[in-house]
């Protein structure tokens, strides 16, 4: 974390500011003047780099008001170091012979006391400012940890990566292109009644397909690509492998957490304690208003991808208590928010009536993706040893797979673990369903 890095950087500037003060005292000796002056150069360079590092960390990790003192202090200290460097350069310059050294020593005698006093004041102020900065950082870290513990946001590491070159068709699909096209939010509707039903409908897209048709991989790809393009994206996937990932509360907690993380740093710092002080709970009634509030802080389109609708224990077809109630409220009250719902058709019947824009994962859309997957998998199958066998396997799977990506993956998993090349020839291809 930034706090850890900053703590490790604190001893360096304090030590290095003391060091030039000590060396200035030594410079009173004529015989050692030149060598001591030369030795100061690398130390001062390190000190300047350290101060610049602290300044960068402060700007990256704090609000303007909290790093203002450090910024000013760094500038003052840098000015002092610059003046000292200038004096050392004069001592070591081309005119820096013995007679010039004598003249420089007269300057140093008067400079020594002033520099020591100024350096000590600088050190004291720097220590106080850094301690204040660290205290603020520790308080923020504590709040951040407390909110994380409360919301327990879910990840999506369980979704496999796509095969390179697949799923690109989605960006040129008319329905998806319309859904993803950005909107100017500089003049949002003044009242809730200004939001038309047509606008709400257009901001919601549904993608559905049969089991194993690659819906989750598609969802993850869309979310990743939206982020890569610089859009604000939220992504949650219902998953039967974890109870919390099957509930609408888990979805809302994750969306709130991601939305908070998408805000600018200064705004995020302000919002964390505000969320903690608002008696927020993990119940949907408490979470939805906060998501709306944070969403309205954005002046850009926020894309929300919800995957695995069919694996949710809360029925989206339930118009009174299901996730559709929460989604409807979010869409209606947050005009820059767009939802992409992905799952099986049976779990989206009501949603399709309410939000009719949809894409069905059919063979004509994914045919090339299926072919690429079938072509890709034999590279990881040691039992497929000849080009003839490879061609035979690919042909058989292309005929039988339809849109079943999962079935293809399972077939190759079985081929890798259970069959030799001879068995594949004589048994498997003839018997596989």
Question: Model-level pTM?
Answer: 0.73
- Distance of alpha carbon 284 from alpha carbon 254, whole angstroms: 12
- Distance of alpha carbon 248 from alpha carbon 291, whole angstroms: 14
- Distance of alpha carbon 337 from alpha carbon 95, whole angstroms: 69
Contact 296, 334 (CB under 8 A): yes
- Distance of alpha carbon 311 from alpha carbon 343, whole angstroms: 8
Q: Domains in the chain, ordered, with CATH?
A: 2-151 (1.20.120.230), 168-361 (3.40.50.300), 364-431 (no CATH)
Position 50 scores a pLDDT of 58
Q: For the purposes of burial, counting CB atoms within 10 Å of the CB of 113, is it exposed (0-12), middle (13-18) or buried (19 or more)?
A: exposed
Distance of CA 387 to the CA centre of its chain: 43
Looking at every residue in the chain, the average pLDDT score rounds to: 77
Ranges of H-type helices in 10-97: 11-26, 33-61, 64-92
The set of residues, in sequence order, having a beta carbon less than 8 Å from that of 25 and lying 6+ positions away, is 112, 116
Looking at per-residue pLDDT, the higher value among 208 and 420 belongs to 208
pLDDT digits (tens, 9 = 90+) for 255-300: 999 999 999 988 998 999 999 888 777 777 789 999 999 999 998 9
Ranges of H-type helices in 234-379: 248-261, 265-277, 284-295, 323-333, 349-354, 363-376
pLDDT digits (tens, 9 = 90+) for 8-63: 444 444 444 444 544 444 544 444 445 545 555 555 555 566 566 666 666 665 44
Question: Which of 36-45, 149-158, 205-214 comes out lowest in average pLDDT?
Answer: 36-45
| CA-based nearest residue to 162, from 113, 200, 217, 224 | 217
């Amino acid at each position: 974390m930034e706090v850890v890095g900053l703590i490790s950087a604190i001893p360096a500037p304090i030590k290095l500011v003391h060091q030039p003060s000590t060396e200035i005292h030594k410079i009173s000796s004529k015989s050692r003047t030149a060598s001591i002056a030369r030795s100061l150069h690398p130390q001062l360079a390190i000190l300047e780099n350290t101060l610049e590092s602290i300044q960068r960390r402060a700007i990256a990790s704090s609000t303007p008001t909290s790093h203002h003192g450090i910024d000013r202090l760094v500038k003052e200290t840098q000015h002092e170091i610059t003046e000292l460097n200038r004096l050392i350069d004069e001592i070591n310059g081309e005119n820096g012979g013995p007679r010039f050294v004598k003249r420089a020593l007269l300057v140093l005698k008067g400079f020594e006391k002033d520099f020591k006093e100024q350096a000590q004041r600088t050190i004291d102020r720097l220590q106080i400012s850094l301690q204040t900065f660290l205290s603020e950082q520790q308080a923020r870290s504590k709040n951040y940890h407390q909110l994380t513990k409360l919301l327990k946001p879910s990840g999506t590491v369980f979704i496999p990566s796509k095969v390179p070159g697949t799923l690109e068709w989605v960006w040129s699909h008319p329905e998806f292109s319309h859904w993803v096209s950005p909107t100017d939010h500089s003049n949002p509707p003044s009242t809730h009644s200004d939001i038309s039903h047509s606008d709400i409908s257009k901001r919601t897209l549904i993608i559905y397909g049969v089991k194993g048709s690659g819906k989750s991989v598609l969802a993850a790809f869309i979310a990743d690509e939206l982020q890569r393009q610089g859009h604000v994206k939220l992504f949650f996937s219902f998953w039967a492998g974890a109870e919390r990932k099957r509930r609408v509360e888990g979805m809302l907690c994750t969306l709130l957490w991601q939305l908070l993380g998408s805000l600018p740093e200064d705004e995020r710092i302000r919002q964390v304690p505000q969320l903690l002080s608002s008696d927020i709970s993990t119940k949907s009634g408490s979470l939805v208003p906060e998501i709306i509030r944070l969403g309205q802080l954005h002046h850009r389109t926020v894309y929300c991808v919800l995957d695995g609708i069919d694996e949710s224990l809360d029925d989206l077809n339930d118009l009174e208590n299901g996730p559709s109630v929460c989604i409807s409220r979010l869409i209606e009250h947050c005009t820059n928010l767009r939802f992409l719902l992905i799952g099986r058709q049976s779990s989206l019947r009501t949603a399709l009536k309410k939000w009719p824009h949809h894409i069905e994962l059919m063979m004509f859309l994914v045919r090339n993706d299926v072919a690429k997957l079938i072509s890709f998998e034999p590279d990881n199958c040691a039992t497929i040893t000849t080009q003839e066998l490879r061609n035979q396997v690919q042909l058989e799977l292309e005929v039988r797979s339809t849109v079943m990506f999962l079935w293809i993956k399972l077939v190759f998993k079985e081929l890798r673990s259970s069959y030799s090349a001879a068995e594949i020839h004589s048994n498997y291809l003839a018997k596989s369903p």
